[in-house]
């Protein structure tokens, strides 16, 4: 008898109001820099958002981390599998 073990890897991000949200990196579809992150003069609503993480279910999360930081964390998670 063989056993199948599934490992779920979640990455924690900080939302704009300081809460933590856990995301399965498999469900991340795209990353987009905010206008403020590209050009600080283009401030829209808040200067806390640096990256928008789009998910496979059509939802998105605005996070305090930069897109480069998010990319590094995803790559690190994939490399550790």
Domain-located, residue 21: no
Domain ranges, residue 40:
28-79
Instruction: Assess whether pLDDT exceeds 90 at residue 20.
Output: yes
Q: Are 15 and 21 in contact (CB under 8 A)?
A: yes
Give the pLDDT score at 8: 73
Instruction: Assess whether pLDDT exceeds 70 at residue 30.
Output: yes
Q: What share of the chain is helix, strand, coil (3-state, %, to 5)?
A: 30, 30, 40
Domain-located, residue 45: yes
**% residues pLDDT > 70 (the chain):** 74
Domain-located, residue 4: no
Give the pLDDT score at 25: 92
- Greater confidence (23 vs 39) lies with 23
pTM of the shown model: 0.75
Domain-located, residue 14: no
Number of domains comprising the chain: 1
Helix (H) or strand (E) segment spanning residue 54: strand 51-55
* Cα gap 21→44, rounded to integer Å: 23
Domain-located, residue 58: yes
Domain-located, residue 16: no
Domain-located, residue 71: yes
Query: Residue 29: pLDDT band by 50, 70, 90 thresholds?
Result: very high
């Amino acid at each position: 008898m063989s056993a199948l073990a599934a490992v779920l890897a979640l990455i924690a991000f900080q939302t704009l109001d300081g809460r933590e949200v856990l995301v399965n990196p498999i469900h991340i579809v795209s990353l987009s820099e905010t206008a403020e992150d590209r050009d600080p003069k283009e401030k829209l609503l808040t200067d806390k958002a640096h990256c928008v993480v789009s998910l496979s279910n059509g939802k998105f999360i605005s996070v305090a981390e930069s897109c480069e930081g998010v990319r590094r964390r995803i790559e690190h998670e994939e490399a550790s599998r």
